[in-house]
Structure formats: C-alpha cells, structure tokens
C-alpha cells in the first residue's frame, strides 16, 4: 500500500473537487461540506463522464453528462441506475491540512 | 320471476329509451324487471353513426351500443321484431303483433320517429327508400354495386349525410332541395352557400328550388320529375325530407298527442304510469331531433323511475356541431336573426371561414360557425348562461387570439362547467369524462370511449376529450403536490416569496429554513435557488459556483469526452481580420481538434482540455461568449442598412449595442436575441426570445419565440421608433422575465403560460419599464467577464488544474 501526499485541503474548494493522475489512474478528490475528503475514480460508469466536474450534494456527486448519482463513500451508483466506481482511501492531517491518498 | 320487483316495459329499442334504462340500472339496479320491445331485428345501435357506416368510417357491428350480451347480463328481456299493437292503460298491459302479452307497472313509450315519405305518385316503386335505419343502409350499399345514379330529396342535415355516403359508395349523387339554400334549419344563406361550394368540390350536385312532383319508372325507379317540368335520372331515390314523431300507438291509447307525445318535466304523459322519452316525445312544445336533449330527458326519467329527487327536465338550448362531409359546421340558438336581434358577421372566402353571432340586447342568443368551429362550445356556454356580453362582442366573434390570457385551450377546457356536453353525439358531459379519468382509471382516449362513449361517434370532440385527458390525468399522475424538485413540495412562487419575506441570503439557508428533504438539495434545485437568490439580491448575494451547472462553473461547454469548447464573444456576429487571426493562432497553438461556426454567428474551438482553458482565454484576450448556461447567448444580426440594399435600419449596430448591454445577464433559461434590418427578417428574429425587426421608421419588438425542439414564432410586443426605446423595452422585458419565470423555463413557455396580455400589461407604463430597466442595469453593472476573472484569480484558476506532482510518503 503506497501512501501519496497529493496536496493540502485548502487546494480543494468546499463542495468542490480537484483531479490527479496517479499510475495511469484518473482520480477525483472531493471536499465535502462537513470537511470529509473522498476520492473516487474520475470516470462515470455510464459514458465515462468526468465526475470531478459534477455537482456535489451531500455525499453524492451528480455526473455532469447525464446526472447519474455516485455515492462518494461506497462508489456505488444510486437508483434507478446501476454501476460503481473505484474508491480510494484518503487521510487528512487536520493540523497541517495535508491530504494523502492510499493506493 | 321476482315478485318484489316492479315491471317496467320499454316500447322501443332505440338510443333514448335504452339510455334511460342504462341510467336506471345504475341508480336502482334491483327495482325493476325490465322488458324491451323493438321493431327492428337488431340490438340497441347508434343511429347517428349510420352516416359513418355509409361513408365507410364504421362497420355495422361497430355502431352497436349495447350488444345481445348486455341485455342478458342485465337481466333484460328483449323482444325484437315485435310491434306493440295495443295498450290497455286500465289493465296495464300491452300486446304485440306476435301475440305476446305483457303486464307493466310502468311503461315507457320511446317509439322514436318515422321518416316522412313524400306522398308522390310512384313512391312505392323499387329503389325508393328513406335514410333511417340499418335496412336503408344495406339497400344503399347493395344498390351502389349495380346502379349508378342516386338522387337524394332533402338538402338538410340528413340528406347531405346520405349524399356523402352515396358518393363514397361510388354513385353519381344529386341533392334535390325545395329551398334556395341548404340546411336552412341550422345555417343562414351565407354559410349555406359556402357549404354548397365545398360539397360541390367533393362531387355532389345540387338541384335547388325544385319541387318534386312524381317518381318515374315501371317496377323500379328510373327518374324524378319536378313541378317546373324538368326531370332527372335516378336509379335510387332517398327521401330525407324530415321525420315525424311516431305517435300512432299513443294516440290509439288516448294519450295526449300534439306533434309528439306530450310530456311534462318528468317525462310523464297524460296517462298515469306511462312515460315517454326521445324523438316521439314533445316537451314544452318541442320534439327534439338531436341526441343531447334526448339523453338529458332519459337521465331525468331514470331518476323519476328510481325515486331519486330531480328538478326535472326544463328543455335544452340546442347546438349542432357537425362534420358535414368533412366540413365543420356549428349552429346554436336563434341563428336566423329574428326581429329585435342584431348580428356580427365575419366572412373569409379565402380560407372558407364564416362566423356569425346574434345578439338581443346584450346577450348572445344565436351563432353560426362555418369552417372554424373551435369556439362553438364556448359560445354555446355563454348562450346558456345568459350572461351579458357587453363589450366582448368582437372578441366572441373573432375568438380569443392565441397568446392572450385564457386563450390557452387547456384554460378554456378547465373553465367549462361540469355539465357542459363535450360529446354531442352521445351526450357525454365534461363531468362524466372527468369522473371516468379520475375515478374509473381511464387513461387514454380508447378507455374513455369504452367507458363513457365520448368520441365513439363522429370523433369531432376528440381534441376536447384529449384535452380533458391531459388536464385530469395530468393531475392524477402526481397525487401529491409537486415542488420544484424531489427535495421540496414548494413551488417556485412559494419559494421566491419566502426568500423575499424572510430575507434568506444563501442556498444553504433556504434549504434549512424551508425544510428541504435533502439537506444539500440536488442538481435541480441547487442551481435554481442560486439563480433566484442572485435575481432577488443582486448586490448582496455572493454567487455560489458549486451550485452552478457544470458549464456555467467552468465557463465552457463540456463535451462527451470530458474536453470543453471555447466560444469567445463576437458581438453581433461581426469580426475583423485581426480577431480572426488571433483565434486562428490560438487554435493552432493549442492544437484544437475542431474549429466550427456556431448558429449564433461566432466561432467555436472544440476539444479543449480543462487545464488549457485559462491559458487559452488569456491568449485570446477576448471576453467569454457565454455559449453555455442560462444567460444571454448571442444577438444575431443581418447586414441591414450598412450595406444591404433592402435594409431600413442599422441592424448591426443595434445588435451589437444589445449584446454589449445585456451580456453576462443571468436568466431563468438561455435567452437568444436577433435584429433584422428589414421585414425580410434575415436574422430570423421571429424565433428568438426577444427579436427586433426593423421597419421603415421604427422597430418591431417580438417576444417568446423558440427555434429549438418546439418551434414557436414570436408574439408582437409593440413597435417603437428609436434605438434607445429598443434597449429600454428589451431591458424591461428581460427583467420582467427574470423576476417571474421558473428557472429552466424559456420565454416561449413562459409567455404561453402567463399570456402575452399579462406581459404587455406589466410593461405598459413607462414608469414600470423604467424601474425594471433600472433593476436590470444594476444587476448587469455588477457583472464582470468571468474568463478575465478566472485568469487573474489563482484561487479560481486552480480548479482547472490537476493537483501538483505527488510525492510518495
């Protein structure tokens, strides 16, 4: 398991996201309104839409292409659609603000 | 035989009598033991549809209303092929011509009418018939196979329907009429001549002002002779000169008979326990020949027999809406302008439309419509209500123009009272149809047809029935009140009112205070709340980019592969070599896969990676074209007076001015403008949200157009003289739209919904316009070009770039 320092929590706007590419994977990091930071594969299982561009509502992101709803904790797509995305473990050092992604 | 049930005998198996039984079965299914006696060898069928059978629109089996099974299922004894020959009112029994005797407790005489056969010499020859029952139809169909020439005597409704049917069967048809014009019982001369014209085009021939004197031929008819000495060849003669109530039996019993069997408001005759309904009955001096009044009579009689309270039948104001041979005709009340009345007429010989309304004092007493009968139901409703129409005469005559409040057909339907008859052929009221939809699970035209019989005959009421379906089924689908999205039950107006009242200042506060079911909303409501807040508090509200739809957040259009398109602002579609060179260089430098012209008269750079966006904007140095999002998109122009030989005004400078004035405006939905330099309208301004068309000495201002999925042409708002006025009105209109429409509602839908009149009223006063304009100016003055803003602000720019190089820990 590799632990990667990807940036600081202030690099991500609240309810916003940033992207990164690690080892051929496109990953989207989301900072939720309660402070939690979650990371998922940046690719909607429907038609490959970039989830990082979607709207965050609670713990769910709405894909910008066709509004599929992806739960950022589990990676699962919400009803009535089906599918799931890879999720990645994130660690946030609250004192320094450093954000780590574990692969 | 159930001894506790009373015996009810119905003499006559036609539409009015059986309808009475249908009602009775619903009201008091176990009260009576019913016997029906009919002379024809058929179950209950729709006589009105015989015309359709002849014209090829229906088969004989399709016109049966209640088949043999219905009688069995309802425990009704049916005797067909019987004629009642004697009624003993004291002993309360009847005898038929086949020697069947029946006792009754209550008797209904529904013997209908007989066709009046002209007592001409030769009327007994083969090939001379009426047009009344199935047998007549069968003879016509048989005859058409072997013979050619048909003559119909009688140019009234029935005669024309017969003629139409015979034409369809391939015969050579002439209609003989004693009067100088057709259908004088429903139409005035003008409408009748227009009808005649139409029918002649269909191949019908007319012999008007001809009085028949004799039928020629030996065993079979060969011709018809007239009193003026002329003759016409005929292999078939159909007499359609009128009907006479069939009162023979009633008269023989000693019941009071006038033209028809006299009945009171509860359909009682002069003899106890004997009732009468239908064409054979005469109520307050009128024997009706149209189905709607007869069905009304049947409903009253059923209540009477069931012991249900009823105010009785008070007579009907009749209207006739017909498709005579495919031509729409409507007639109601005193259409023939009796003394003391005044008329308004509208006649269009080009489109074949004629309308007349007849007034007495300030009330509508009659109407005739030809060609365009859409307003028939409304006019009839006004006639029945007896309301004053003072001041509305022309509006009633010409119909309400589209785009005006209440013009919406759905609105009109909603306003009709429940007892309004929608289907004249079958006497089905609006209430009955609504009930079928809401309580009996009818969800389609077919369901409603099966359940109520509406639209099962001529089909003329189909659009109305479909309209009712969408009104009532629409409501039914969503039983609970629906809000702007699944997160709330509040609608747009309620939300905006609460935001104003409580001075709510951000999206989160709104969702909290108004008790959203999802604490962070959804992709529908977050952007709409963001919009409403920005619209209401332009100065105080800080736009929340996380609540913007993707394109608006990134100020570019997201494509299917995650790349974006870049459209810089090109005002009024006018560019320059320098500008073009700049765009070209940037496209080359960034290796842009596709450069394309947009419909909005500018250039689109497609396939740009998100991280390249700020850099590209910086190098272009041009403002955002806002080709994305709910805002002003473009102002298209045509060349106009700068160079065009037809241009009456400078559409280019007007367009550029408008685009500069209103760019970056947040609107409920995208807004597209255009300015044309003359009425040739090369900029297609009349499918725009706000379109400007130059005329000599001024500008026409058009609103509510849409060139997309549902094309809608604009409505004319007004005409102004100066460019300044164009800007003033545009600003006022756009601001009124911003303040009142739903998020995601285009101006076309909004104008349809609220009506052009409402918009005109709101913008009528110069002070009102000035205030609206001031508010929109204030909003616009606070905006700034987003591309420039993002380029210069690192905290915004970072969102376009991936996180920096990662380090393994």
What is the pLDDT, as a whole number, of residue B323? 62
Is B137 found in the same domain as B272? no
Give me the CATH code for the A3-102 domain, please: 2.102.10.10
Long-range contacts of B247-252 (CB under 8 A, 24+ apart): B247/B111, B247/B280, B249/B11, B249/B84, B249/B85, B249/B87, B249/B109, B249/B111, B250/B109, B250/B111, B250/B276, B250/B280, B252/B86, B252/B87
Q: What is the pLDDT of residues B759-799, one digit of tens each?
A: 999 999 999 999 999 999 999 999 999 999 999 999 999 99
| Closest residue in A to B609 (Cα–Cα) | A50
For residue B805, give every residue at least 6 positions away whose Cβ sits within 8 Å of its Cβ, in sequence order, or none.
Answer: none
Of the candidates A19, A47, A55, the beta carbon closest to that of B802 is on A19
Q: What are phi and psi of B240, to 5 degrees?
A: -135, 60
Looking at the structure, tell me whether residues B212 and B134 fall in a common domain: yes
B149 & B36 share domain: no
Asked if B324 and B354 touch (Cβ cutoff 8 Å), the reply is no
- How many CA atoms lie within 13 Å of B794's alpha carbon, on the beta-carbon side? 2
From CA B275, how far away is CA B304, in angstroms rounded?
A: 10
Q: Extract the residue ranges of chain B whose pLDDT is less than 70.
A: 1-3, 57, 321, 323-326, 400-409, 456-460, 474-482, 805
CA angle B538, B539, B541 (to 5 degrees): 70
Tokens of B310: 């009823």
Q: Which residues of B touch A53 (CB under 8 A)?
A: 550, 553-554, 558, 562, 610
Which residues are B369's β-sheet partners? Answer: B330, B355
What are the residue boundaries of the structural domains of chain A, listed by start?
A: 3-102
- Quick one: tokens of B609? 């990676």
Test B806 with A54 for CB contact under 8 angstroms: no
CA atoms within 13 A on the CB side of A90: 26
B809 contacts on A by Cβ (under 8 Å): 3-5, 100
* CB-CB under 8 Å, A18 with B807: no
Instruction: List Cβ neighbours of B37 (8 Å cut-off, separation of 6 or more).
Output: B9, B10, B11, B12, B13, B79, B82, B83, B84, B94, B96, B102
pLDDT score of B478: 33
**Exposed/middle/buried for residue B671 (C-beta within 10 Å: 0-12, 13-18, 19+):** buried
- Partner residue facing A16 (CB), from B522, B799, B804: B799
**C-alpha triplet B292, B297, B302: angle, nearest 5°:** 125
Report the candidate in B161, B387, B242, B507 with the shortest Cα–Cα distance to residue A14: B507
Question: DSSP states of B211-269 as a string?
Answer: -EEEEEESSBEEEEEETTS-EEE-SEEEE-S-EEE--HHHHHHT--BSSSEEE-TT-B-
- Dihedral of CA B601/B603/B606/B611: which sign? negative
The residue in chain A having the minimum alpha-carbon distance to the alpha carbon of residue B796 is: A13
Cβ B286 vs Cβ B305: under 8 Å: no
Cβ–Cβ under 8 Å, residues B635 and B659: yes
Report yes or no on B617 lying in a domain: no
Set of chain A residues whose Cβ sits within 8 Å of the Cβ of B521: 57
Question: How many structural domains compose chain B?
Answer: 4
Handedness of CA B161, B155, B328, B457 (dihedral sign): negative
Least CB–CB distance from B803: residue in A2, A18, A49: A18
Tell me the residues of A at the B interface, defined by beta carbons under 8 Å apart: 2-7, 11, 13-16, 18-22, 29, 33, 47-50, 53-58, 62, 64-65, 67, 100-101
CA-to-CA separations, B17 to B8, B46, B262, B271, in angstroms, rounded: 12, 12, 16, 18
> Closest partner residue to B558 among A19, A64, A100, by Cβ?
A64
Query: At CB < 8 Å, which residues of chain B contact A?
Result: 518-523, 526-527, 545-547, 549-550, 553-554, 558, 560-562, 610, 798-799, 802-804, 806-809
Distance CA B158, CA B38 (A): 23
Q: How far apart are CA B693 and CA B711, in angstroms?
A: 19
| Residues B637 and B775 reside in one and the same domain | yes
Q: Which domain CATH number covers B744?
A: 3.30.413.10
Residues B202 and B295 in one domain: no
Question: Is A6 in contact with B561 (Cβ distance < 8 A)?
Answer: no
Quickly list DSSP for B492-551: HHHHHHHHHHHT--SHHHHHHHTT-SSTT--TTHHHHHHHHHHHH-TTTPPP-GGGS-HH
Cβ contacts of B519 on chain A, cutoff 8 Å: 58
Cross-chain Cβ contact A100/B523 below 8 Å: no
Nearest to B428 by CA among B398, B468, B370, B478: B468
pLDDT of residue B481: 58
Evaluate whether residue B358 is within a structural domain: no
Question: What CA–CA distance (Å, rounded) separates B466 from B473?
Answer: 10
Q: Give the whole-angstrom CA distance, residue B55 versus residue B322.
A: 15
Domain boundary among B241, B269, B287: B241
The CATH number of whichever domain residue B183 belongs to comes to: 3.50.50.60
Instruction: Give the global pTM.
Output: 0.53
Q: Do the chains contact at A4 and B558, CB–CB below 8 Å?
A: no
Q: Does a structural domain hold residue B637?
A: yes
Contact A47 B521 (CB under 8 A): no
B441 CB neighbour count, 10 Å cutoff:
10
Same domain? For B260 and B232 the reply is no
In a domain, B749, yes or no: yes
The pair of structure tokens assigned to B95 is 């005898």
Say yes or no: B639 and B774 in one domain: yes
Give the number of residues written for chain B.
Answer: 809
Question: Given this model, what pLDDT does residue B457 score?
Answer: 63
Closest chain B C-alpha to A16 CA, distance in angstroms:
6
Of B518, B551, B36, B26, the C-alpha closest to B302 is: B26
For residues B104-115, one letter each, b for 16 or more C-beta atoms within 10 angstroms of the residue's C-beta and e for the rest, the string is: bebbbbbbbbbb
How many other C-beta atoms are found inside a 10 Å radius of the C-beta of residue B667? 24
Instruction: Clarify whether residues B77 and B221 are in a common domain.
Output: no
Instruction: Tell me the residue range of the domain where B680 lies.
Output: 632-781
pLDDT in tens, B613-628: 999 999 999 999 999 9
Query: Same domain for B651 and B768?
Result: yes
User: Residue-wise over A18-36: b if at least 16 C-beta within 10 A, else e?
Assistant: bbbebeeebbbbbbbeeee
Which residue out of A64, A92, A100 would a mutagenesis test of the B interface target, given it has the greatest number of B Cβ atoms within 10 Å? A64
Closest residue by Cα to residue B561 from B588, B585, B594 = B594
Domain match, B273 and B235 both: no
Pick the residue from chain A with its C-alpha nearest to B805.
Answer: A6
Q: Contact A29/B521, CB-based, under 8 Å? A: no
Using the beta-carbon criterion (under 8 Å), do A50 and B554 form an inter-chain contact?
Answer: no
Q: Which of B512, B518, B806 to mutate to test the interface with A (most CBs of A within 10 A)?
A: B806
H-run or E-run covering B300: helix B291-306
Closest CA to A69 of B521, B4, B754: B521
**Which residues in chain A are contacts of B550 at CB distance < 8 A?**
53-55, 64
Same-domain pairing of B59 and B161:
no
The DSSP result for B569-601, as a single string, is --GGG---HHHHHHHHHHHHHTT-SEEEE-TTS
Which of B508, B522, B523, B529 should one mutate to test binding to chain A, selecting the residue with the greatest count of A CBs within 10 A? B523
Q: What is the C-alpha separation between B428 and B683, in angstroms, rounded?
A: 49
* A11, A55, A62 member nearest B798 (Cβ): A11
Query: In b/e form, how buried is each residue of B14-43, taking b as 16+ CB within 10 angstroms?
Result: bbbbbbbbbbbbeebeebbbbbbbbbbebb
* CB atoms B809 and A5 under 8 Å: yes
Q: Residue B403: helix, strand or coil by DSSP?
A: coil
DSSP letter string, A29-68:
EEE-TTS-EEEEESS-TTT---GGGSEEETTEEE-TTT--
Contacts of B562 in chain A (CB under 8 A): 48-50, 53
| Cβ pairs bridging A and B (under 8 Å) | 82
Give the one of A6, A47, A53 whose C-beta lies nearest to B806's C-beta.
A6
| Pairing relationship of beta strands B632-637 and B690-695 according to DSSP bridges | unpaired
Which residue, among B524, B546, B565, B612, would best test binding to A if mutated, counting the most A CBs under 10 Å from its CB? B546
Query: In this structure, are residues B113 and B130 in contact, taking their beta carbons and an 8 Å threshold?
Result: no
What's the rounded Cα separation, in Å, for the pair B445 and B467? 10
* Residue B62 CB neighbours (<10 A): 13
Inter-chain contact A55–B807, Cβ cutoff 8 Å? no
Query: CA B490, CA B340: separation in Å to the nearest integer?
Result: 55
């Amino acid at each position: 398991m590799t632990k990667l320092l990807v940036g600081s929590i202030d690099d991500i706007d609240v309810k916003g996201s940033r992207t990164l590419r690690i080892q051929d994977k496109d990953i989207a990091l989301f900072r939720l309104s309660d402070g939690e930071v979650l990371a998922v594969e940046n690719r909607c299982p429907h038609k490959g839409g970039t989830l990082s561009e979607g709207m965050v509502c609670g713990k769910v992101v709405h894909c910008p292409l066709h509004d599929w709803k992806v739960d950022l904790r589990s990676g699962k797509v919400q009803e009535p659609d089906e599918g799931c995305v890879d999720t990645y473990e994130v660690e946030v050092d609250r004192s320094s603000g450093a954000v780590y992604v574990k692969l | 035989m159930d001894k506790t049930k009373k015996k009810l005998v119905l003499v006559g198996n036609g539409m009015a009598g059986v309808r009475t039984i249908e009602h009775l079965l619903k009201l008091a299914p176990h009260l009576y033991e019913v016997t029906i006696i009919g002379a024809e060898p058929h179950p209950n069928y729709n006589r009105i549809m015989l015309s359709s059978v002849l014209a090829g629109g229906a088969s004989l089996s399709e016109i049966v209303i209640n088949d043999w099974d219905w009688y069995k299922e309802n425990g009704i004894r049916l005797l067909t092929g019987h004629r009642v020959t004697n009624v003993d009112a004291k002993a309360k029994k009847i005898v038929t011509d086949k020697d069947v005797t029946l006792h009754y407790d209550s008797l209904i005489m529904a013997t209908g009418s007989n066709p009046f056969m002209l007592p001409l010499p030769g009327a007994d020859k083969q090939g001379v018939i009426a047009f009344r029952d199935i047998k007549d139809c069968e003879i016509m169909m048989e005859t058409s196979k072997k013979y050619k020439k048909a003559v119909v005597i009688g140019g009234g409704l029935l005669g024309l329907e017969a003629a139409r049917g015979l034409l369809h069967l391939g015969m050579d048809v002439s209609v003989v009429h004693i009067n100088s014009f057709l259908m004088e019982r429903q139409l005035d001369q003008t409408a009748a001549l227009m009808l005649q014209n139409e029918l002649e085009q269909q191949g019908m021939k007319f012999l008007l002002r001809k009085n028949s004197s004799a039928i020629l031929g030996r065993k079979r008819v060969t011709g018809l002779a007239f009193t003026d000495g002329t003759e016409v060849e005929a292999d078939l003669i159909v007499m359609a000169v009128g009907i006479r109530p069939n009162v023979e039996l009633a008269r023989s019993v000693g019941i009071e008979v006038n033209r028809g069997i006299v009945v009171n408001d509860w359909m009682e005759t002069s003899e106890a326990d004997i009732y009468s309904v239908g064409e054979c009955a005469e109520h307050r001096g009128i024997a009706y020949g149209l189905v709607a009044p007869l069905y009304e009579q049947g409903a009253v009689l059923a209540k009477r027999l069931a012991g249900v309270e009823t105010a009785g039948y008070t007579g009907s104001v009749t209207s006739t809406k017909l498709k005579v041979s495919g031509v729409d005709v409507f007639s109601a009340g005193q259409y023939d302008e009796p003394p003391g009345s005044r008329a308004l007429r509208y006649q269009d010989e080009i489109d074949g439309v004629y309308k007349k309304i007849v007034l007495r004092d300030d009330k509508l007493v009659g109407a005739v419509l030809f060609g365009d009968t859409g307003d028939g139901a409304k006019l009839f409703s006004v006639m029945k209500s007896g309301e004053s129409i003072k001041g509305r005469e022309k509006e009633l005559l010409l119909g309400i123009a589209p785009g005006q409040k209440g013009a919406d057909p759905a609105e009109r339907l909603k306003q009709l009272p429940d007892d309004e008859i929608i289907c004249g052929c079958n006497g089905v009221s609006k209430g009955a149809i609504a009930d079928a939809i809401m309580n009996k699970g009818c969800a389609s035209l077919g369901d409603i047809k099966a359940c109520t019989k509406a639209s099962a005959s001529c089909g003329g009421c189909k659009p109305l029935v479909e309209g009712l379906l969408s009104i009532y089924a629409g409501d039914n689908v969503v039983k609970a009140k629906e809000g702007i999205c699944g997160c709330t039950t509040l609608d747009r107006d309620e939300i905006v009112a609460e935001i104003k009242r409580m001075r709510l200042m951000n999206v989160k506060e709104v969702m909290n205070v108004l008790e959203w079911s999802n604490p962070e909303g959804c992709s529908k409501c977050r952007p709409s709340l963001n919009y409403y807040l920005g619209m209401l508090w332009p100065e105080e509200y800080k736009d929340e980019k996380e609540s913007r739809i993707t394109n608006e957040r990134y100020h570019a259009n997201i494509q299917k592969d995650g790349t974006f398109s870049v459209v810089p602002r090109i005002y009024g579609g006018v560019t320059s070599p320098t500008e073009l060179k700049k765009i070209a260089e940037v496209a080359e430098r960034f290796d842009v896969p596709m450069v394309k012209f947009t419909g909005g008269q500018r250039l689109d750079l497609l396939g740009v990676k998100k991280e390249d966006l700020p850099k590209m904007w910086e190098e272009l140095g041009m403002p955002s074209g806002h080709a994305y999002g709910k805002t002003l998109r473009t102002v298209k122009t045509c060349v106009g007076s700068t160079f065009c030989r037809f241009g009456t005004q400078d559409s280019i400078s007007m367009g550029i001015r408008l685009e500069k004035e209103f760019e970056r405006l947040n609107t409920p939905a995208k807004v597209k403008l255009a300015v044309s330099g003359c009425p040739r309208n090369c900029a297609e301004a009349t499918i725009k949200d706000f379109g400007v068309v130059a005329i000599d000495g001024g500008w026409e201002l058009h609103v509510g157009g849409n060139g997309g999925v549902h094309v809608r042409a604009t409505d004319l708002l007004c005409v102004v003289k100066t460019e300044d006025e164009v800007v003033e009105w545009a600003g006022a209109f756009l601001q009124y739209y911003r303040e009142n429409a739903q998020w995601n509602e285009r101006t076309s839908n909004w104008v349809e919904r609220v009506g052009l009149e409402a918009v005109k009223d709101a913008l009528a006063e110069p002070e009102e316009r000035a205030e609206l304009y001031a508010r929109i100016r204030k909003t616009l003055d606070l905006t700034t070009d987003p591309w420039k803003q993002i380029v210069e602000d690192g905290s915004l720019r970072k969102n376009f770039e991936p996180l920096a190089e990662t380090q393994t820990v």
